[in-house]
């Protein structure tokens, strides 16, 4: 019987271990012993997701099916954890709880990164993802026209500047 496998925060424990956090950190964070964390690593190794090329290493279709089920189970659990962390982040933001928001955001980022690695969206050595590389408004041909017109209206310019500053732009 593995204490970590039975722990109510097993998904979070798995995430910490798989993301490379030290055993000491996991022990302290979840009130576990070093032995329990070490033994649980063996449980995780038995359930490591496989890459499609590794399927050939399994001699029977049944072994392939088991490996795929385990892989999907881990991806589903990490995805569920990310959903919970997103909900928690929303609650922290609405409560203006900055300390817990920072911790939650860090955990969410790790969960999303792990999920991206497990699903192949992020390769093992890749450190960033480029999303929607949209051109800046300033690059548009209409920008100079917009600026020229706004410059003629100081009240509009001040209102626009205030709105942009308020939104963090």
User: What digits encode the pLDDT tens for the residues 129-149?
Assistant: 555 555 666 667 777 887 888
**In percent, how much of the chain has pLDDT > 70?**
70
The whole domain housing 152 covers 137-166
| Mean pLDDT (whole number) for 110-119 | 80
The rounded distance, in Å, linking the Cα atoms of 128 and 163 is 31
Question: Does 148 reside within a domain?
Answer: yes
**Cα–Cα distance for residue pair 46/24, rounded to 1 Å:** 22
Structure tokens at 58: 């399994």
**What is the CA angle 125-127-133, rounded to 5?**
130
129 belongs to a structural domain = no
Same domain, 74 and 101: yes
Is the same domain home to 87 and 145? no
- Split into its structural domains, the chain has a count of 2
**Alpha helix (H) ranges present in the chain?**
3-6, 10-18, 23-30, 34-46, 61-95, 98-119, 143-151, 154-166
CA 97 to chain centre: 20
Flag whether 34 is in a domain. yes
Task: For residue 133, report the phi and psi dihedrals to the nearest 5 degrees.
Answer: -75, 80
Asked if residue 143 and residue 113 are part of one domain, the reply reads no
pLDDT one-digit tens code per residue, 42-96:
777 665 543 444 444 545 556 656 666 666 777 788 888 888 888 888 888 888 7
**Do the domain assignments include residue 124?**
no
Q: How far is CA 62 from CA 67, 107, 126, in A?
A: 9, 35, 33
Q: Tokens at residue 105, please?
A: 């955001």
Between 100 and 123, the more confident residue is 100
Angle at 137 between CA 136 and CA 143, to 5 degrees: 140
Share of the chain above pLDDT 90, in %: 0
Q: Report whether pLDDT(22) > 60.
A: yes
Residues 148 and 83 in one domain: no
From first CA to last CA, the distance across the chain in angstroms is 53
């Amino acid at each position: 019987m593995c204490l970590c496998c039975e722990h109510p925060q097993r998904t979070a424990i798995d995430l910490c271990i798989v993301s490379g956090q030290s055993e000491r950190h996991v022990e302290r964070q979840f009130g576990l012993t070093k032995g329990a964390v070490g033994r649980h690593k063996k449980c995780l190794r038995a359930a490591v997701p496989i890459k499609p090329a590794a399927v050939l290493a399994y001699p029977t279709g049944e072994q392939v099916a088991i490996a795929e089920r385990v892989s999907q189970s881990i991806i589903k659990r990490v995805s569920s954890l990310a959903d919970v962390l997103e909900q928690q982040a929303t609650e922290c933001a609405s409560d203006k709880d900055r300390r817990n928001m920072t911790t939650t955001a860090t955990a969410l980022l790790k969960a999303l990164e792990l999920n991206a690695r497990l699903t192949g969206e992020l390769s093992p050595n890749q450190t960033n993802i480029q999303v929607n590389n949209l051109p800046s408004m300033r690059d548009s041909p209409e920008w100079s026209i917009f600026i020229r017109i706004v410059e003629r209206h100081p009240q509009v310019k001040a209102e626009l500047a205030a709105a942009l500053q308020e939104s963090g732009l």
